[in-house]
Amino acid sequence: MTRSFLPLTARSREESHRASTPLELFFDLCFVVAVAQAGASLVHAVAEGHAGTGVLNYAMVFFAVWWAWMNFSWFASAYDNDDVLYRVITFVQIAGVLVLAAGVSRAFEEHDFLVVYLGYVVMRLALASQWLRAAHHAGSAAERTMCRRYAGGVLVVQVGWLALLFVPEGALPWVFLVMALAEVAVPLYAEKDTPSAWHPHHIAERYGLFTIIVLGESVAAATVAVKSGIAEHDALNELLPVAAGGLLIVFSAWWIYFVVPAHDRLTDSRQGFLWGYGHYVILMSAAAIGAGLEITVEEAVGKAHISTLAASASVTIPTAVFLLSVWLLHARHFKTGLAQQAVLPGSALLILLCSFAGRWAVPAAGLVAAATVAAGVTLTARATKPAGNN
């Protein structure tokens, strides 16, 4: 039974069988609501011919969701004591992301980020309170300093985000860039002397689970779009290839991400930062695949005011980015030989070229993605085949 109040002390990195908790899984599912809202707004913006502003707004909103999720996950890996107060503060963070999700449409359509900002501030203030609580129970002066740096950095940066509400629309990207850099600098500053006690296996599992949920959201969004297209426009022949290609892409993305154990890369804080931050691109592109499939469906049934090439690129570009970012961040460290190293970059290029295949762009990209998995499996089997076996 959960106790009311426990000291919020650091957990050990040497814990065995460390796994995600039911609270963390619930947290992920609530956060993906905001991811879905961002994806839906991206679909609307691109389908209406506003791809530039749509992608920019998507990148900003996704950063807010991802950054709050990531900070919670690393804090929980180091300090989760699962008492009542910890759970309540976590629920406050969940409430914050739901507020943020409610403001996504207004941010995209009217460039009004007030509700998004309020939801983000709720999440970040709740996390700052957790860091202050951890500082109160810290076992050493160095750990206390680290926790206070986190709390202070989080609080200071929130003031800077206020600029989003007052600057001209043209300045929004620059304000976002400056404040995003300030956000990512906080952990680097806080842990420059003393690292937090995050658990490599736990962190790898947390990222893997959120990747699965994001890919699942892509499948769900594309499925609803295909269903609506068939029901409203009787476009079964046009949409079946898109559905098949989309499934191949998502299945292959899952396979490629999980083909090697991610925790083997998390050997120290430097690797942890690179790996953790790099997932912004991986997760954002994974979610964008689903949005791209929706856009392709809308274009196929005549609802999108864009060309077939543009609709195809909305799938092929995020798919290629996903493959490249997984390779750069993770997979290349487990590949041996030029052939293995070339599979993912080469496949990313081929998928981009599929953009010019017209109506068959998505199924062609799906076949390339599936061939990528097959090539990886074959090359790995050959590399690990015992000498002397034919």
pLDDT tens for 270-293 read 777 888 899 999 999 999 999 999
Q: How would you write the chain as a 3-class SS string?
A: CCCCCCCCCCCCCCCCCCCCCHHHHHHHHHHHHHHHHHHHHHHHHHHCCCHHHHHHHHHHHHHHHHHHHHHHHHHHHHHCCCCHHHHHHHHHHHHHHHHHHHCHHHHHHHCCCHHHHHHHHHHHHHHHHHHHHHHHCCCCHHHHHHHHHHHHHHHHHHHHHHHHHCCCHHHHHHHHHHHHHHHHHHHHHHCCCCCCCCCHHHHHHHHHHHHHHHHHHHHHHHHHHHHHHHHHHCCHHHHHHHHHHHHHHHHHHHHHHCCCCHHHHCCCHHHHHHHHHHHHHHHHHHHHHHHHHHHHHHHHCCCCCCCHHHHHHHHHHHHHHHHHHHHHHCHHHHCCHHHHHHHHHHHHHHHHHHHHHHHHHHHHHHHHHHHHHHHHHHHHHHHHCCCCCC
Q: Which sequence spans correspond to the domains of the chain?
A: 22-197, 201-384
Q: Hey, which CATH number is domain 201-384, 1.10.3470, 3.30.1490, 1.20.1410, 1.10.1740?
A: 1.20.1410
pLDDT tens-place string over residues 54-92? 999 999 999 999 999 999 999 999 999 889 999 999 999
Q: What is the pTM of this model?
A: 0.90
Residue 61 CA, chain-centre distance (Å), reads 11
* Residue-level pLDDT at 263: 67
* Residue-level pLDDT at 273: 85
In order along its 390 residues, the chain shows pLDDT tens digits of 556 778 888 888 888 878 899 999 999 999 999 999 999 999 999 988 888 889 999 999 999 999 999 999 999 999 998 899 999 999 999 999 999 999 999 989 888 899 999 999 999 999 999 999 999 999 899 999 999 999 999 999 999 999 888 888 888 889 999 999 999 999 999 999 888 988 888 998 999 999 999 999 888 888 888 888 888 777 778 888 898 999 999 999 999 998 877 766 777 667 778 888 999 999 999 999 999 999 999 888 888 889 999 999 999 999 999 999 998 887 676 666 777 788 899 999 999 999 999 889 999 999 999 999 998 888 766 666 654 454
Residue that the structure tokens 């950063």 belong to: 63
Residue that the structure tokens 């570009």 belong to: 317
The candidate with the shortest Cα–Cα distance to 348, out of 294, 297, 281, 299, is 281
